[in-house]
């Protein structure tokens, strides 16, 4: 099975600890997919022409992620500020996200041709890079399974008014929210064949397919160090197992296992 992640890479700056780590939703997802057994993993994104670019490329080389479509543009690599709270809970402070050159990055025809080589295409959906989602997921020549992280669905409009327009193009969608989100999303699930997974952080996760709901509790950990990237790790592990076996319960369990690994260290994929 092979997979390409399209979208975001960042340099995560831990303000309390004075350390930085390579991160970003798409990069975190790609790294965890490779660690979870995907035979071939690519990343399509861009960095700035700065020190962050070298950190990103070194990380991808160590993790055996294809980087030939990681572009370099004049300007700065995206950054995310992080502060730490009790229990390893990461906090994104207001105004702490800077997409950098990602805001101007557009997929080329060569990028789209490369993306079409893969079985699974995974793209996050949020306002700053919605143009990348549309280009990759709405590509009429794509025959891949389409996966998206809709984050907390804040950019799906009030009361999730626009979410069905996204779901009709997706085979698998992830949303972050509480158990109330499950009830809110159930009608959209019934109206579309998309498998929707709602992640509840320390309270587990729920998978919704039609009228059926599967629940997976979070796994206990000896020490919660840093929750950064736990959701990305869960999604990557779930994706690999689900498209391998079509077993929702097994995919939920694999997701919980990978998230429990990530919470045990600083940095979404480690500091190194």
Quick check: is 270 in a domain?
no
Give me the pLDDT at residue 93, please: 95
Give me the pLDDT at residue 60, please: 98
Which burial class, exposed, middle or buried, applies to 85 when counting CB atoms under 10 A from its CB (0-12, 13-18, 19+)? Answer: exposed
Quick check: is 53 in a domain?
yes
Quick check: is 135 in a domain?
yes
Give me the pLDDT at residue 185, please: 85
Quick check: is 188 in a domain?
yes
CATH code assigned at 38: 3.40.1190.20
Quick check: is 161 in a domain?
yes
Quick check: is 268 in a domain?
no
What is the domain range of residue 243? Answer: 2-262
Give me the pLDDT at residue 113, please: 98
| Domain count of the fold of the chain | 1
94-144 pLDDT, tens digit each:
999 999 999 999 999 999 999 999 999 999 999 888 999 999 999 999 999
Per-residue pLDDT of the chain (272 residues; tens, 9 = 90+): 899 999 999 999 999 999 999 999 999 999 999 999 999 999 999 999 999 999 999 999 999 999 999 999 999 999 999 999 998 999 999 999 999 999 999 999 999 999 999 999 999 999 888 999 999 999 999 999 999 999 988 888 877 778 888 899 999 999 999 988 888 887 777 778 899 999 999 999 999 988 889 999 999 999 999 999 999 999 999 999 999 999 999 999 999 999 999 999 999 999 87
Give me the pLDDT at residue 261, please: 96
Give me the pLDDT at residue 243, please: 97
pTM: 0.96
Q: What are phi and psi for residue 157, nearest 5 degrees?
A: 90, 165
Quick check: is 272 in a domain?
no
Quick check: is 269 in a domain?
no
- CB under 8 Å to 11, separation ≥6 — which residues? 20, 21, 22, 23, 52, 55, 56, 77, 78, 79, 80
């Amino acid at each position: 099975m092979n997979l390409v992640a399209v979208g975001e890479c960042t340099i995560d700056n831990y303000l309390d600890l004075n350390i930085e780590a390579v991160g970003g939703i798409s990069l975190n997802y790609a790294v965890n997919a490779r660690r979870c057994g995907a035979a071939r993993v690519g990343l399509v994104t861009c960095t700035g022409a700065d020190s962050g670019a070298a950190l990103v490329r070194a990380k991808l080389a160590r993790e055996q992620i294809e980087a030939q479509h990681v572009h370099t543009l004049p300007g700065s690599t995206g950054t995310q500020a992080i502060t730490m709270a009790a229990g390893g809970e990461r906090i994104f402070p207001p105004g702490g996200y800077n997409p950098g050159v990602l805001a101007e990055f557009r997929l080329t025809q060569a990028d789209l041709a490369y993306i079409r080589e893969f079985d699974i295409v995974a793209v996050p959906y949020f306002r700053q890079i919605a143009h990348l989602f549309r280009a990759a997921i709405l590509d009429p020549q794509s025959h891949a399974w389409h996966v998206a992280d809709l984050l907390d669905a804040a950019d799906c409009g009030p009361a999730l008014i626009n979410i069905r327009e996204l779901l009709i193009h997706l085979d698998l969608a992830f949303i972050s929210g509480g158990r109330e989100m499950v009830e809110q999303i159930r009608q959209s699930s019934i109206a579309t064949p998309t498998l929707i997974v709602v992640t509840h952080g320390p309270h587990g996760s729920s998978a919704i397919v039609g009228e059926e709901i599967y629940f997976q509790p979070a796994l206990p950990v000896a020490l919660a160090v840093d929750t950064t990237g736990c959701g990305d790790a869960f999604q990557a592990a779930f994706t690999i197992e689900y498209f391998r076996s079509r077993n929702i319960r097994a995919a939920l369990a694999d997701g919980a296992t990978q998230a429990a690994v990530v919470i045990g260290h600083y940095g979404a994929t480690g500091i190194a």
